[in-house]
Amino acid sequence: MLNKDLIVGVCGAGAMGAGIAQVAAQAGHRVIVLDQFDDALGRGRDTLAKGLAALVKRGKIAESDANEISARCEWSLDVDALSDAGLIIEAIVENSEVKRALFQQIETVVSGDAVIATNTSSLSVTALASGHKNPGRYMGLHFFNPAPVMKLVEVVSGAETDAALAASALELMKSWGKTAVMARDVPGFIVNRVARPFYSEGWRALEEGAADAATIDFLYRDLAGFRMGPFELGDLIGHDINTAAAKSVYDAYFGRTRFTPSLMQAQLVAAGRLGRKSGRGVYSYEEKETPTPTFAASSGGQGDVLLLEDLLVKGWIDHHGVRIMKCDGRPAGRVAAEMKTPVAVLDFIRDPEAATAIAFAASNDKAKEAALSFAAACGKNAVALKDRAGLVVFRTLLQLANCAGDAVRDEVASPDAVDVAMMNGVNYPFGPIAWARGEGLGHVVDALDAVAEECGEAMYRPGEWLRAAARRGLL
């Protein structure tokens, strides 16, 4: 079993390998970092030195700690140096043949009970382990970038992974200060699978002209509390990387429509607009423009937020003869036709105090006037959206919950583990399943059905787990 005294071998001195080495050495292990290039080892050492210097500067560790931590790390070009390692974490190039060849070499030098883990993001742990001696000792330990900062580690069990070893690795990761969750070996594991709609729904809203990019980014932040919207985050990650991840998950699931990548993002990549690194992505970084949301009306912030709180509790209110309602999946035009009254539908608002805006779509001019007057009365800026099913942020959250529910149905992870993974792997302000429970699972299922019906697309149909969970809640 894995314990605090074991020697940790890290293969690959790149961004991930150097970060993982830091985490293991900080936890007190002797660490041996292997790379095939001397200059890569040099860069890895620099990455570690910078990481430790930043901790010293922030007062997190003493200079003497930093020295001890780096003294615990050895850097080697020779795979034989791994011979005493009890845990190997592989973080080399994302290529299954190269990884498998390295595992074969490692097996000839380590003891029979050394655990061999891969940090792969997109390859199958089961496939990487197969054909090796004792495949039960192979698993995924999926860290997030930068490894010393990001809390999450997905402990991934392949088809043959020894369950007790995976449990032991989970405890070891916790002892390293990580938030570790168990995950089954499926493409994207938990986070990279469940997160797909965060991006694709933003792109879809943009493609459909629901609002402009800066406004959509703003709404993700202001209404839901995400740290960044999908376009600013895509610009930061690089759209080539982001779209490759989306395509890899989509292809790996043989084209499951829930994971459909964005055409518009693919076009951006084809045009060389990769994001910050190329000077231009969704936004231009050459002109130093600051993306600003478009408001239909601005408020000085003076108003009565209780009006908004009241609406959110009741679900709808009458304002100047117009029904102003929380989004239930149906577009305003459809509700208006069904109820034979003017309607304005509000997008999701997580915290009525903190939100600086409300976003709405209106069934006609009278409804729009009423929504603007309501926003002013609440002291909020107003964003006028194109009328569409589920609007923008609510639809994204619905589909995130739907994908999270599918992951639970497929036994990728428990509901709590999915939430913990999303909050710690990609910094979501809340877990998608906890969000759905808070909204009411029945409401979420009905809203997804309404979006699916209105859009005519099966990808929005609520999955079996969500439906069953909603039913259980009603019993």
Q: What are the residues binding ligand NAI (CB under 6 A)?
A: 11-17, 34-37, 40, 91-94, 98, 102, 119-121, 143-145
Find the shortest distance in angstroms from Cβ 423 to ligand NAI: 17
> Minimum Å distance from CB 145 to ligand NAI?
3
Considering the complex, state which of residue 11 and residue 324 has its C-beta at the smaller distance from ligand NAI: 11
Distance from C-alpha of 186 to C-alpha of 173, rounded to nearest angstrom: 21
Q: Does the annotation count 142 as an active-site position?
A: yes
Is 309 designated active site?
Answer: no
Is 119 annotated in the active site?
Answer: no
DSSP H or E stretch at residue 129: helix 125-129
Strand runs labelled E in 79-203: 85-90, 115-118, 138-143, 152-157, 179-184
Structure tokens at 441: 């699972």
Of 142, 200, 248, 381, the active-site residue reads 142
| Residue among 155 and 372 whose Cβ is closer to ligand NAI | 155
Among residues 441, 416, 419, which one has the least CA distance to residue 430?
Answer: 419
Burial 168-185 (b: 16+ CB within 10 A, else e): bbbebbeebebebbbbbb
Which CB, 17 or 197, lies closer to ligand NAI? 17
Q: Which long-range contacts link 330-339 to residues 24+ away (Cβ below 8 Å)?
A: 330/389, 330/450, 330/454, 331/361, 331/387, 331/388, 331/389, 331/391, 331/454, 332/360, 332/361, 332/362, 332/363, 332/367, 332/387, 333/363, 333/387, 334/454, 335/363, 336/363, 336/364, 336/367, 337/363
Q: In the beta sheet, which residues pair with residue 382?
A: 297, 358
In the bound state with ligand NAI, the residue whose beta carbon lies nearer, of 244 and 296, is 244
Between 131 and 321, whose beta carbon lies closer to ligand NAI? 131
Residue of 90, 154, 201, 232 marked active site: 154
Closer to ligand NAI by Cβ: residue 145 or 292: 145
CB of 128 to ligand NAI, least distance (A): 10
Q: Which of 29, 90, 119, 121 is catalytic?
A: 121
Min dist CB 94 to ligand NAI, Å, is: 4
Using only C-alpha atoms, the chain has a radius of gyration, in whole angstroms, of 25
Q: What is the number of H-type helices and E-type strands within the chain?
A: 20, 13
d(CA 65, CA 261): 45
CB of 119 to ligand NAI, least distance (A): 4
Residue nearest to ligand NAI (CB): 14
Phi, psi of 441 (to 5 degrees): -60, -35
Q: Is 132 a catalytic residue?
A: no
- Which one from 192, 262, 381, 424 is the annotated catalytic residue? 192
Minimal distance, residue 75 CB to ligand NAI, in Å: 11
Catalytic residues: 121, 142, 154, 192
